[in-house]
Every structure is written in structure tokens, then in C-alpha cells.
Chain A
Amino acid sequence: MKTIPPPCPVPDTGPKYWRSLDQLADTPEFREWAEREFPAGAGELTDPVTRRSFVKLMSASFLLAGVGGLAGCRRPIENIYPFSKMPEGYVHGVPKYYATARPTRRSAVPLLAKSNDGRPTKLEGNPHHPDSNGGTDTFTQASILNLYDPDRAIRFAQDGNNATPEAARDALSKIAADAQSSGGKGLCFLAEQSSSPSRLRLQQALGAKLPQAKWYEHEPVDFDINREAASLAFGRSVKPYFKIDQAKVIVSLDCDFIGSEEDAYINIRRFAKGRKLEKKDDSMSRLYIVEALMSQTGMNADHRLRLPASAVIQIAALLAGEILNQSGQSDASLASAIAKLVDQRTISDLNAQLKPTDAKSARKWSADFINKWAAECAQDLLRHRGRSLVLAGYRQPMAVHLIAHALNSALGNIDSTVVFHEVPAPKNGNIADLAGALNSGQVDTLVILGGNPAYTAPVDVKWADAQAKAKTVVRLGYYEDESFPAKGWNLPQAHFLESWGDARTADGTIVSIQPLIEPLFGGVTDLEVIARVGGLDKTTPYDIVRETFQAGTHGGEEDWKQFIHDGFLANSAYQSASVRLDASAVTQELASAEAVTVPGKDKLEVIFHRDYRVDDGSFNNNGWLQELPDPVTKMTWENTVLMSVQTAKDLGLYIHNRENNRLMVPLVKITVDGRDVVGPAWIQPGQADNTIGLALGYGRSNTGRVGRNSGYNAYSVRSTRHLHCSIGAKLAATGEKHHLSTTQDHWSMEGRPIVREATLKEFQQHPDFADSLSMEKPTPFAPLYPNPFDEAKKTGHHQWGMVIDLNSCVGCSACMTACQSENNVPIVGKYQVANNREMHWLRLDRYYTGDVEDPQVVTQPMLCQHCEAAPCENVCPVNATTHDQEGLNVMVYNRCVGTRYCSNNCPYKVRRFNFFDYNRRSLEQLQGPVYPTPLTSKSNGEWDLLRWFRDPDRGTKPADEWDMLKLSKNPDVTVRMRGVMEKCTFCVQRIQAAEITQKVKAGASGDVTVPNGSFKTACQQACPAEAIEFGNIADPESRVSQLKAQSRNYSVLEFLNTKPRTTYLARVRNPNPAMPDAYDQPESTVEFKQHNGGSEAGPAEMGAKKGAE
């Protein structure tokens, strides 16, 4: 007799994505079901049954009981279930790649997403996309973690209570029905920006159906000024697209185009392309920048002028004055309007502020420094007509953008370095208009599509109050955050990897967004909500996108498949529009430009800037980005109040202070337009005096476990009138101290030739300048024992090596996040970062050289150098780190006992140690400095040790976190436990995958050498600048070998004879010798000279001398 167990009930709520038995076991239904097994089994005993069936039953019961943790005296058994029906072509363990895209504000990042057994684990740029090389940015790399964020909105909520998805959809239908009857009167939408053709189509359909419904858009960091300014300047709705690689001279007017502007990763690619040097006669572009804050672009500039953001217009006008006059073809009224903007008194005031206090740096300064700077810069632009480019940053007012367009027009750059794309002008109001409508009671139904307006809206809008005034609020949100409606609906938003959609990238190419996984928590997309509220026929996102595709291309099934497969629609890019500057419109607009006020120490200029890590706050709960050091400040886990050295001195702030190994800085209160906010003060070398930088996106009052208590909220002092910049702020120390965590404490390179630099001229004269900075290498004689690698090397099929081009690297940190995602690198929390225990395998070292007020900045990606004579290997007592025959310094986690000697002996300090069981710590524990022991701590009302004993793998993580965490890991990379050392492996899993593929392909032919360029390491793949090259150095044809053969190639600390496999190509700066701040040698070289005998000879001359010998 066979006992059939009752069917396993499927829970109505809760996760639907992972149906492993052990998870289900935790639901009450399952437990009940499992328990019901026993009476049935017990009943068997009294029945005259065979022994066999009893034993069968009992063993099944025990199995289930064990799995359920009901009789948990053993470790839980985890079963691997095979597919009952194998998908066609599926090979278990081999990841699949799908094309998709990450939508951004008015653009998108084309992607290839890696899927392991049905869950996305890594995002890579789509290299086939016409405007991509496969590189991405940090946000994209980290966005996959948002998918598995245990704190995301996981439920449909009505008035804060759980509700079913069906009820939510009914509510939307009701709104739709009501709107139908009133023609949409009183129905308002508040959306984030989007480039989706489908959304545009839906919006139009909605407008047709509900003519009275109103559409508003809100972006706290809004790049639309580019389109607005271009539309104004050229008299039609166009948007600029910059071909930075075509420009030989680039002038940035406070434009952080390789940092915080939209589509920076494309700009980085193009910028790096314009600066690639292969041979000594190659030319490279020159970058000038005028800016207030030290930005990534500023870090990479050849000439940088620090001025308050509000004064940038003066430089723009000075440049325009020179250029418009000399180009000879400009409109006289425009020229005079621009000339009127120049105020020599303001300029001389600013010039006075620029005067350095110490005589050493004063050599560059003169009484008309700014004028000279602008004049020479203008001359350089004029010399490169048609091959130059002037860019204006999104924080700059309209006037600066218009001047930039006028300059580009006068210089003949239009259609050469900048093209204009015709785009539809959005018809929508802004959030202030909507708040007005709400406050006057005109809004019955408010539909919020994404975003977090209660947090990001300008403070004077008082959005939270306004939002509550709508009769019905439906909000689609990724988190249950500040904008979570206490009354009304909150719908969980689907992640882009869970939803169908489409978008247009910067060049206009239409990209498909296809889901890689069912919505984990049943989230919905904005397309669906619009369609439902609008009462449209098709409400599923797939149908909507499909219909849009159909309408746009009239393509058939095969075209659609092609579109989904490729991830983009070929030849769908915008056509460049031919434009002519509308001088009169520009002249008219310039007349209304505000006069410049020079900020002083009691009327400071406050600049609200987009954060390099959490964007506008949307990535606030993303641990990878929170722990990613800011590319400029190297600060983690929070934002700081940035100011220059001189400003801090003027304000009487002593910043760099250590107390008990904690970086303790004064908390300061900044008062802007009558409102104040308190944040930790921090010095940013190179920032303009009397300016204060406040990064947006932190200080959230209602966020997840990661973002909690991180930073201060700059939005709380940001008002509609002063969205980007406000003059007249006051700053006062509160007398309190605040603890900061930075990953790099020391600013200076101390004259050591770690990052090597030269000017273009020096490079042309002495292409081997990098080598000439090397220290004398001792000749190894009578070694104690031969290096075992020398013998092993002979048996390797490949010899792996890496080259990093410091001339291309801009320090964007995409590689760091890519590495973190690829290699399951854990986050450690603010206090652990303060103890220098961050786990990044790849880090970006940033050094300031020269004058602290006006430094030159260099960045250097630093990762395991895979030394051939690795100092870490011979000191490990247990052979846990050894060399393989292909030149990888491999780390055997299983064998490591954690003496940490390898790290001490590593001159590059690239090894990372698991001081705690970071992978099993709960997110709550990111906060604390000292962690509880499982022996004593209590949580969930249970003695922790017991739980740890029952499920040691989970550690102290709550179930939700643990389940999400498991999904986010790369199954090809070991998750390291506590007490072991780890480090960059050169992505050994990718090497192995490539080698296995090649071996399979080779078959009997025996050609097992992996072809060049058939795979990339994660950092290399993510790098938009193509600064990282990896490959087989045994093959002279490989790109990496060719780069290593270049004259700029050098290894860091070569004198130690470690023979690193990772080498660097020295950086080259391209200063203009006519500039007042020209330099013959980069500051780092000057410092090197000072530290090495102070001889007048620079590296170039030294190289020459060496050659002469």
C-alpha cells in the first residue's frame, strides 16, 4: 500500500521565485503539512503493514523533518533538484547572456546580462551597440544589487497595509473608469524622466483619451538644460551629442562630462580615445576646465582653473569675447551682449582670491592671471577651429550654455565635434507646478511613477504635505521610502531586469529592455500603471513594447526577435539635424543673465552636486555603491561638506584630525536661504575658495538597512530658486565631531615614482621617460633557492598579464564595482572601512601632487600585480598562495589559515583579509564597530548560537537577506569565509571558462591556446576607457604584449625585483606652454626630483643622460 502525501501547498504571498524545499519549510503551511506526515506514519504502525513501507515512509518523514528544521539536530540537508523538463540547449552551470538595457534619465545603457540558472548575476555593456564598446559605469554595475535588495518594496500596500495585487489592479481600474467619465480631470501623473518610446506612445495615447489629465516630470538632477539651451540657441527642439574624441581642444565650463553628466561612460570612451598614445608622434587632446568643485573631469584636465560656479560665466564670456571677435563671422549684437557680461572688477576680485599664500606656488599667479588664462585658452581654441569643443555643465545657468553654443558655432565645431539631434520637446509641468495644483485642491488622483519626490523635491515645494492633499494617491516605488503614501496605494516597482521595456540611448538608438527573471515580488512597471490608469487595451508591458516596436518599425516576428536578441534596433539612431545659431534669441536671453556676486567667507557659495556613488539618492541602499570610495574624495558611506583648504582656514576649521584612530572632523551647520543642515566638514584640495559642495542623495530618513544613518540630507536646504548653486550661505562649526571613513588617508605620493607622468613634449623627446624614473635594480646573485615558477613556466600554454594605461584611466571606478559584482566581494560597513578593512580587490589610488590649493591629480587602479617572484608566496607557511604555470598568483582559500604574512610582505598591499565572516553578517551589523559573538548575542528571541548551529551557513543573517544574498552571488566564484586572505585572481573563472571552451573546441587538434581577445576580465570589460588590457603575454601578437612593448610601460616598485605581470603605461599630460599656469613637467615629476637629490634634471633629461652613458 502506498501512502500518497498530501499535495504541497503553494503560499499565496511571499517569495515565489525560489521554490527550494528548505525555504518553503519555513512557511506555516508547509510545517503543518510536514507534521501531518507523522500521524499518518504513526498510523502505519498499528496497521498490518509491511516493514518495507513503514521504513520507506519513516525515512521520507525524517528527510522532510530534517529539511524543515523541525528536528534540527543536524545541518540542514539541501537537495539539488534537476529540471523535470530541461529547456532546450540548456547546459547546467554555463551562464547565458541576454541583451537588455538599463534605462537612465533621458538615455539608457545597453547591456548584456549574465544569467546563471535563471537568475541574473552580472551586467556588462553591450559591445555590439553602435555607441558602446561594452564599457559601463558604476551605477550600472551596481544596479544588479538593487534587484536583490532585501529592503526593496515587496508588497502591494493600501494605506500602509498589505493588499493583494488583484486589489491594486482593481483600484487602478476604478481610477481608470472614473477618469474616463471625467475626461481625466483631476488626474495627475508625476513621473521620472524617460527615454522610452513606449512611454512616449502611452503618454500620447493617454493624452488623447484623457485630455484633461496632466503630466508632470521631476528629476532632482536634471540634465534637460542641455536640450533646453540647444533648443533656444538653435530655434528648434534639439539635443547636443558630443563627439569628444574628435576634439583636439576641449574646454569644459563646469561640465563634469566624464563624471556626473548624463552618459558619462560614453564621454569617457570618447575622451580616452582622443588621448590614446601608441607612438611618440601621436597627438592627444587637451582639456581645459573651469570649475568650482574638484570633479573627475577636473582630475583629468591639463589646465584647471578653480572659480566659484557662479563665476564660470565670466570665463565663458571672456572666451567668447576673444573668439567671437577673431572668428569674424559673429553677430555684433551677440558679441556686445556677451561683452556686457564681463565684469573686470569681479574678475580681479576672483583673481585676488586665487593668489596663493605661499611664495612657492605664487610663481604661476599674476595680477591678470584669469584674463591671461582665458585669452590663451581662447587662442588655443581658435587654433583648432572645427576640432575643438566647448561644454557647459548642467549646473550652469542657461547663459553659460548659450555662450557655449555660440562658441561652438563660431569655432565651426557644429557637425564636427558636436552634433544636434532632433528630439520631441517634452510637454510637462514640473514638481512645483504640481504641488501648486495639489495645494489648491485641483488634484483628485495623483499617480506617482517611480522616484522619491518626498525626499528629492525642492524643500520649498513641501512635497510631503502636498502629496497628502490628493484624494487618491497611487505610487509606484522601488522602496517603501519617504514618499510611501500613508493613505493610498503603494505598488512595488519592478527592477529593469524584471520588466519589459524599451529606451533610447544617447545617440537615439532604440534598445530593448527584456526581463531576465520574473518579478521577484510581483512588481509592476510604469508602462503597466499608465496603461491601466489610462484604460488602454494592452496593459502588459510586453504587449505595450511589442506594439510600440510594431508601430515604429512595422517589423515582423523575425525583426522583433532580432531586436530582442541584439538588444538594439539597428539604424534607429537620431539623424543629426542641421542647425544654425539663432543669435538674436541668444542675445535676448543673455540680457537677462544675472550679475555675478563674488562669494566671500560670510557669503559662501553652496553647490548641490550629483553624488558619484548614490546618484540623486536612488542608489542610497546599495551597499556596493555606499562602500565604493568617492572617486575624488575617497570617502565612503556618506557625503561630506566639501571646502577648500583656505576656506577651512578662514572659517577656523581644523579638519584632518585623528582621535583613537577615527578620522574625527568637525560637524558644521550650513545655513542656505534661511534653512540649515548639519554635515561633516572635509577639505577638498583644488576646490574654489568660499564654495561649499553638498552632495545629494544621503541623509535619508526612511531607507533600507544599508543606507540608514549615512550622511546628511542636502535636499533639505535645496530650494526651487537655487537648485544647483546658492550664494550667501553661512557656515558655522557646531562644536561636535563626526567620524568619517575614508579608504585613502594619505594625499601625497611623497615623490615616489608610483604613478609616472610626463608632458606630451617630454614624451615626444624621450619616449622612455617612464623607465628613467626607475630605481636601480639590484642584480640577484646566489639566490637562496630558485624561483619554482621559472621551471613551471615552461609548461604553461599561456602567460597571463595585464597592462593598465594610466593615460586613459579617468578614475571613474566602474572597474571596482564590476570586480565586486563578478567576484562576490562583500561589503564591510563604515566602521570596518575606518579600520582599513575594505575588501575591494581592485582599488583606485588617488594622489594629489603639487600645491595643495591647486593640485594635479593622478589615479591609479591597483590590484594584485601577479608578481612572477611574488613576495607573498614564500612567506606563507602553509602554501596557500602559490603560482600556477600560467603566471597567476593563485590563492587557495581552502588552505589559507590566515597568518596575514602575505599581506605584510606585499609591497602593493592588494591582499584583502576576511577579518569577520562578512558574508554571513546581517546588514544591521554594518553599523556597529564591534560585533556580537554568536555565543552571547540574542536576536529574533532565539539564542543566536542555536541558530548558528542549526544553519551555520546563514550566520546571523535574517532569512530574507540570506535568500536574496544567495541569488546575487556569482556561482563561479567561491564565497570566502572568515579568516582567509583573498585578492584579485585576474578573474581566473573567466580564464578557466575560456580555456575549457578552447579545449573542447580544439578536440584532437590539440590547439588549446585561447585566441587573443576571446574573453575579458571583469574590470577590463567594464572599463569604458579601455584602459585595461589583459591577455597572453607569451604571444607577441596579443594586444597586451604590444602594449607592454611600448615605451611608456613600467612596473611599480620595479627595484624590488618582484617582476609584476601587471604593468602600467605612464600618463602623459598635454599642457599648453602659452598658458599662465603652464608647466614643463607634471608636479609628480617635480616632486620626484625634489625627493631624489634635487637635481635640476627631470626624468626626460635623466633619460637622455642615461642614454648618453
Chain B
Amino acid sequence: MIGNSKRPGKCEVSLTVNGEPKTVRVYPMERLLDVLRLELGLTGTKEGCGEGECGSCSVVMDGKLVNSCLIPALQVAGATLTTIEGLALGPRLTALQAAFLKCGGAQCGICTPGMILASRQLLDKKPKPTLEEIREGLSGNLCRCTGYMQIFEAVMEAASGNSQ
């Protein structure tokens, strides 16, 4: 990581987002959430609370689910990021996205990008999760619309297609 001059100013941060290398010029304490939305125009990641509680801002960073509202830009230097936009290649949906649509896992949609990424992470760790494991894996993503039931169904549906 690069050191900066003593007076606060912008810095260059290079990272990989959805497979593409990007360099942004931002204040080191800019939130990753704002870097994604405002610098890179990737508005799929949402702000619901700004305090790391709702999970709407979840992205995958270096293979791990994180709340982008709590990460300063400087700490993202050299990282590999996946946002909701990077989940599907082209117009075809992933099985998980299709399952969310089929099962009613998305109502108003604002929690959905974070919820899908959290589900993706869960399924990567546990391809055939139990209901308890799904509840725990998604407990950092709040949904006000669904009561979670159809989200669980969507994850189970996607898991049932898993080969393991």
C-alpha cells in the first residue's frame, strides 16, 4: 500500500471490479460504497443504513462478503471486488438470480443485490445448506418486505441445483 503526503488529499487506488481493472482518484477515507456508486457508476450496491447493519451495501472483496459502507477506499487498493453487476455474465441470469425471481425472493428489490451476494457466498461455502445455516448466513442482510421465507426458498432452490 502507498503512503500519502501529510496533508489530506486524494490518492490513486487501483482495484479489480467485476473482472476489470480500475483506478480511481479518491480521498483515502471515501467509503468503498461511494467509490462503487459515484466513481464507478455501479449503482447496484445500495445504501440502506450506512452503519453496517442492513447489508444492502454487501459486496464480495477478495472472496469474502463485506459491508462496503464500512470500508475506506485506501484499504481496497489491490483488491478484487465482485458487485451484483458482476454476478451474471451478459444477459443470462445465474441460477441463484433466477431462483430469487422464481420464488419471490425479491419484492421491492432494494435489499436484493446484497442478499444475492450473501446467498452466493453462503452457497460457495456450503453448497447444500440447512435452513439453520441459511438463516445464519443471511442474518446480516435485512429485508423488510418478504419476512425472509421466500428468500430461504430461493436459496434452497439454487442449492438443489448444486452438483455436490
Pair from one complex: no
> Could you list which residues of chain A lie within 8 angstroms of chain B, going by C-beta atoms?
none
